[in-house]
Chains A and B, each alone.
Chain A
């Protein structure tokens, strides 16, 4: 036989909680209101308001009467006042009226009004009590409305806060989990790439030996086959190197060897390294750098950035066109594309731009080109190869230098990729 569920004390909702009289009326409002009553001719000679704790307000016009000693009433009198209903009684030559005060549906206190017992002709003896009760009632009604509203707001904020805290904790756990997974993925990619490179080195090395005739003379057809193996092997090696580099960047394993260096030499080296592919694609590369202060960079990494960008530009440029590399002093952050009333930012960096006259990138895809593995043309029939890692590596390397990178493009006209690197301040000073 199943037992009945245990009763759990119900948590009172904000709207159902009971306020104390002191929560609802400010002491100064109360005295202002009741003191004015005591000043009335033929008005009450003493007024007091009690709540569960005791006397909240006491005032009297007759010194040395029971009414000037409300606070000193014995505890049983206070208890009686707490539980009493509306009543009237007399002590000595004074008459007393008691009125129960409510806030909402709850009894919050008792108002006691004292008057002289002598009834005056034409004056309702209870009129002053009713006026006092009505005034305190008004104060209570206003106070109760404010109190309930604030309680509800407070409860709503607390409940939202609890929900948010709970959700945040969940999200933090999820983020932590994802971070671990991401690190695992990067480590896995790193290990696999490394393991793939080792056998590939043999494939490339032995192909080269075969072509050079070390294992005996090859006929033309055999040479062509081996050359294809060598070319594809080198492409695969380049791809694996990119994946390895990307995974290292993602786990933050890349250290920069920052030095103040002239930009020209780095760009020159990058362009030289791409001379062959530029010739093969019949695309020329022009650099216009001008006279610039040295930059604070890791030469090898910056060369990699320029090489990736220029390599990409060559890949997407039609034969017979030119890829241009330019540089200028600029603020380190991407330009603010709204009103700049407060002036331009200081030129604390060098902005390098690689511009091609290729197919261009649609605007809606511009911001995504720096994501890893993102392909503008992801169709299976796409014309240009690659893993979609080049620009992601560029972004990570530029950001590691404290710079910014962004793209501008017009479909059919061409694409410009801009990035910034900091000026070596100490060097110029």
Chain B
């Protein structure tokens, strides 16, 4: 749960990247690290097994100050997606304020996505986190592969649930910043509603997003054709 240090005017948010094995959670964090790296000087803490898969978790710490002098710390975690690491996933989810669910867009991965999503709901419940209280966004990753759900299908799925949905190709960075921005946005709104951060610290939602945007830089265009890629 959000850690608020009133004396030092610090707010620490915990954001977790969740999803089935090999859906691209660590890749999302690596891309964010690349985006933020120069400005925050933060290191991506990552523990990989021999075959490059996450064993425990990855952690990307970010910190910045808002105009009101509030220090914001964001701790971004990933969980290991493999089914056998259920206990680690539950522990990493403890006290999470927001979750980005990274789904694999391929139709063959439908079952893994559904199973992982059910696993997320169960683990949140086990950690006494109310589904309605926590911010959740969904990313359909690997949009560049063959055999994926069409954009129309993704829109249909998005319409079914209330969670914001993003498309991405995390490997080349497309959609990663948008997903993170959406996650931070939704998380702040939920926390604002619950803890009244604006009243306590005088920091508005707009100010929080402005600071974040200043560090994210311009977002990649929504059109995946690649125009305006900075080439």
- Flag if B160 contacts A341 (CB, 8 Å): yes
Q: A341-B157, A341-B160, A341-B161 are in contact. Are A346 and B118 (CB under 8 A)?
A: no
Q: How far is the CB of B122 from chain A (nearest CB, A)?
A: 9
B114 touches A346 (CB 8 A): no
Cβ of A343 within 8 Å of any chain B Cβ, yes or no, is yes
Q: Does A7 contact B (CB under 8 A)?
A: no
Q: With A342-B103, A342-B157 as given contacts, are A336 and B111 in contact (CB-CB < 8 Å)?
A: yes
Contacts of A343 in B (CB 8 A): 107, 110, 149, 153, 157
Asked if residues A341 and B153 are in contact (CB atoms below 8 Å), the reply is no
B117 interface residue per 8 A CB criterion: yes
Whether a CB of chain A sits under 8 angstroms from the CB of B113 is: yes
What CA separation (Å) do A342 and B103 show in the bound complex? 8
* Chain B interface SS verdict (over half): helix
> Which residues of the partner chain A approach B108 to less than 8 Å between Cβ atoms?
346
A343 to B152, CA, bound (A): 12
What is the minimal beta-carbon distance from B154 to any residue of chain A, in angstroms?
9
* Residue with the greatest number of chain B CB neighbours at <10 A, chosen from A331, A343, A346: A343
For window 72-122 of chain B, which residues contact chain A by CB distance below 8 Å?
103, 107-108, 110-111, 113-115, 117-118, 121
Contacts of A340 in B (CB 8 A): 110, 114
- Bound-state CA distance A338–B120 (Å) is 12
Q: Which residues of chain A have C-beta atoms less than 8 A from B118's C-beta?
A: 336, 338-339
User: Nearest chain B CB to A342's CB is how many angstroms away?
Assistant: 4
From A338, A339, A341, A346, B107 is in contact (CB under 8 Å) with A346
- Docked pose: A342 CA to B114 CA in angstroms: 6
Q: In the complex, how many angstroms separate the beta carbon of B160 from the nearest chain A beta carbon?
A: 6
When distances are taken between beta carbons in the complex, the residues of chain B under 8 Å from A338 are 114, 118
Give Cα A346–Cα B114 distance, bound, in whole angstroms. Answer: 13
Interface residues of B in 140-184 (CB under 8 A from A): 149, 153, 157, 160-161
Question: How near does chain A come to B180, taking the closest CB pair, in angstroms?
Answer: 21
Query: Which residues in chain A, 294-349, are within 8 Å of chain B measured between CB atoms?
Result: 331, 333, 336, 338-346
Report Cα–Cα, A344/B110, bound state, in Å.
7
| Chain B interface extent, by class | 10 to 19
- A contact patch SS: loop
Q: How far is the CB of B100 from chain A (nearest CB, A)?
A: 15
Q: Which chain A residues lie closer than 8 Å to B117 at the CB level?
A: 339, 341-342
CB distance from B214 to the nearest CB of A (A): 29
Whether A345 contacts B161 by the Cβ 8 Å rule is: no
Q: Least Cβ distance of A259 to chain B in Å?
A: 25
Contacts of A345 in B (CB 8 A): 107, 110-111
Bound CA–CA A297/B115 (angstroms): 29
Identify which of A331, A336, A344 contacts B115 (C-beta below 8 A). Answer: A336
Most chain B CB atoms below 10 A, which of A339, A342, A345: A342
Interchain CA distance A331-B110 in the complex, whole Å: 11
State the Cβ distance, B118 to closest chain A Cβ, in Å: 4
A336 to B114, CA, bound (A): 8
Q: Which of B113, B114, B121, B161: most chain A Cβ within 10 A?
A: B114
Alpha-carbon gap, A68 to B161, bound state (A): 70
Contact present for A346 and B110 (CB under 8 Å): yes
Once bound together, how far apart are the Cα atoms of A340 and B117, in whole Å?
9
Task: Check if A341 sits within 8 Å of B110, measured CB to CB.
Answer: no
Residue of A nearest to B20 (CB): A342
A411 and B10 CA atoms in complex are apart in Å by 60
A residues near B103, Cβ cutoff 8 Å:
342
A residues 265-292 near B (Cβ < 8 Å) are none
Shortest beta-carbon distance from A400 to chain B in Å? 21
The CA of A342 and the CA of B111, in the complex, are separated in Å by 8
A344: nearest chain-B partner, CB-CB = B110
Which A residues from 325 to 384 make CB contacts under 8 A with B?
A: 331, 333, 336, 338-346
Going nearest first, the 9 A-B pairs with the smallest beta carbon separation are A342-B113, A338-B118, A345-B110, A340-B114, A342-B114, A336-B114, A346-B107, A342-B110, A343-B110
Binding site for B on A (CB under 8 A): 331, 333, 336, 338-346
Residues of B within 8 A of A (CB): 103, 107-108, 110-111, 113-115, 117-118, 121, 149, 153, 157, 160-161
28 examples of A-B residue contacts, CB within 8 angstroms: A331-B111, A333-B111, A336-B111, A336-B114, A336-B115, A336-B118, A338-B114, A339-B117, A339-B118, A339-B121, A340-B114, A341-B113, A341-B117, A341-B160, A341-B161, A342-B103, A342-B110, A342-B113, A342-B117, A342-B157, A343-B107, A343-B149, A344-B110, A345-B107, A345-B110, A345-B111, A346-B108, A346-B110
